Amino acid sequence: MALFLASVGFGLVTASVLAIAAVGFTLQFGVTDVLNLAYGAIMIAGAYVAYVVNQAGASVWVGLVAAVAVCSLGSVLVNSGVYAPFQRRGTSPITLVIVSLGMTLIIEFGVEAVAGGAGVSYTMSQGTTFHEGGLILTTVQLVIIALSLVIMAGVHALLRYTKLGKAMRATAANKTLARNCGIRTSRVITVTWALTGALCGLAGVVFAIDSGSFDPTATDIFLVLILAAVFLGGPGQAYGAMLGALVIGLATEVSAAFIPPDYKYVVAFVILLVMLGVRPTGLLGAPA
């Protein structure tokens, strides 16, 4: 029982990290139509930006802000320099996925070329450890959970109450129609890359904090979890990604209490394949 509760605590932290990443991924795909598999590589690039700042003597939280800025700008540039030109040319979605795999190699191994392949960690304090009702969480873990909740509330407010959010939803639903209604879709798409890129950088740093030590290929597996969360909720569905992140985060960590932890990702993998096979539009998406 103690083990179960402790794993629920871990699950909540993983779900928090995953929710930030998955919401960013799903909004990016929904609005821009790019299934950007380089998302994990950009995450890890962000983690390394924070690492450089951290090594220079600043707090990792300062590094986090730097990572958010760099990944946001980087995502906008990757889109305007690579994905958008391909899309303007009418490239098929599948070719775009291949392009994004190429970008994955460029970014991920570009980071490795600069930083080396060895694992690194941030210099930081984990803070006090709290034992509350069976959950065991450190200050840093609580901060991650709180941060994630704030982001989720922010995304909700953005989509629900702002003009930009409505424009994003309209663009996601039907680009041509949105344009004909006077929405400047190209600007909405650029802003979306900036926003989701920021979420990607944020997710990269909290992922690195949460895992303790990381190397340039660390997000290869985490991308599987992101995809599982996104497809569980339905690709393009922000609330679906939140739900998916909660389910996948808890499922992987709680199962790790009962099966060898090396296999915990199998649960996410099975969920992803079942969703792809049975209901590719996800739990919250319309049936095909």
Partner 1 sequence: MTYYLVNLLIYAAVDAMACLALNQQFGIAGVTNFGFIIFQAAGGYTAAILAMPPKSANGGFQSYIGGWNLPFPLPWIGATVAGGLIALPFTFLVGRRLRGDFAAVGLLVTAVLLNLLVTNYVPLFNGDAGLSLIPQPLQGEFNPLASGYKWGLTVVALLLCAAVYWFLRRITESPYGRSLRAMRDNDAVADSLGKNLLSLRTGMLVLGGAIAGLSGGVLVSYITTWSPAAWGYAETVVLFAAVIIGGAGNHRGAILGAILVPVGFEEATRYIPNSNSLPPNLIPSLQWVAIGLLIVLFLWFRPQGILPERKRVIPLPGLPAPRAGPPADGEKAAPAAPAISVRPRAAPPESPGPRPAVLEAVDIVRDFGGVRAVNDVSLAVRRGTLTGLIGPNGAGKSTLLAILAGTLRASSGTVIYQGQDITGMPAYRRARLGLVRTFQLASEFKRLTVLENLLTAVPSNRGDTLRGAIAGRRYWKGDETAAIARAQAVLSRFGLESLANSYAGDLSGGQRRLVEIMRALMAEPTMLLLDEPMAGVHPNLARRIGNELVALCQEGMTILMVEHELAIMDEFCDPVAVMAEGAVLAEGTMAQLRRRSEVVEAYLVG
Binding residues (CB under 8 A) for partner 1: these are 35, 37, 82, 85-86, 91, 93-99, 101-106, 108-110, 112-113, 116-117, 220-221, 224, 227-228, 231, 235, 260, 262-263, 265-266, 269, 272-273, 276-277, 280, 286, 288
For residue 126, the minimal CB distance to partner 1 (Å) is 27
Q: Among residues 15 and 103, whose Cβ is nearest to partner 1?
A: 103
For residues 171 and 141, what is the distance between their CA atoms, to the nearest angstrom?
A: 36
39-55 vs 185-211: helix crossing angle, rounded to 10? 60
The DSSP code for 128 is P
For residues 215 and 116, what is the distance between their CA atoms, to the nearest angstrom?
A: 8
For residue 278, the minimal CB distance to partner 1 (Å) is 9
Q: Among residues 77 and 273, whose Cβ is nearest to partner 1?
A: 273
For residues 202 and 205, what is the distance between their CA atoms, to the nearest angstrom?
A: 5
Q: Is 263 helix (H, G, I), strand (E, B) or coil?
A: helix
For residue 147, the minimal CB distance to partner 1 (Å) is 27
The total of other beta-carbon atoms located within 10 Å of residue 44's CB is: 26
- Please name the residue ranges forming H helices in the chain: 2-32, 39-55, 60-78, 84-88, 93-115, 139-161, 163-173, 175-180, 185-211, 219-233, 238-256, 265-278
For residue 228, the minimal CB distance to partner 1 (Å) is 8
Q: Among residues 32 and 148, whose Cβ is nearest to partner 1?
A: 32
For residue 241, the minimal CB distance to partner 1 (Å) is 15
Q: Among residues 117 and 134, whose Cβ is nearest to partner 1?
A: 117
Q: Among residues 150 and 276, whose Cβ is nearest to partner 1?
A: 276
One-letter amino acid of 253 = E
Q: Among residues 112 and 210, whose Cβ is nearest to partner 1?
A: 112
For residue 169, the minimal CB distance to partner 1 (Å) is 13
Q: Among residues 201 and 282, whose Cβ is nearest to partner 1?
A: 282
Q: Among residues 37 and 203, whose Cβ is nearest to partner 1?
A: 37
State how beta strands 129-132 and 135-138 pair: antiparallel
For residue 164, the minimal CB distance to partner 1 (Å) is 23
For residue 276, the minimal CB distance to partner 1 (Å) is 5
The total of other beta-carbon atoms located within 10 Å of residue 23's CB is: 31
Q: Which helix (H) or strand (E) holds 213?
A: strand 213-214
Q: How far is CA 71 from CA 76, 93, 132, 198, 235, in A?
A: 8, 23, 36, 6, 22
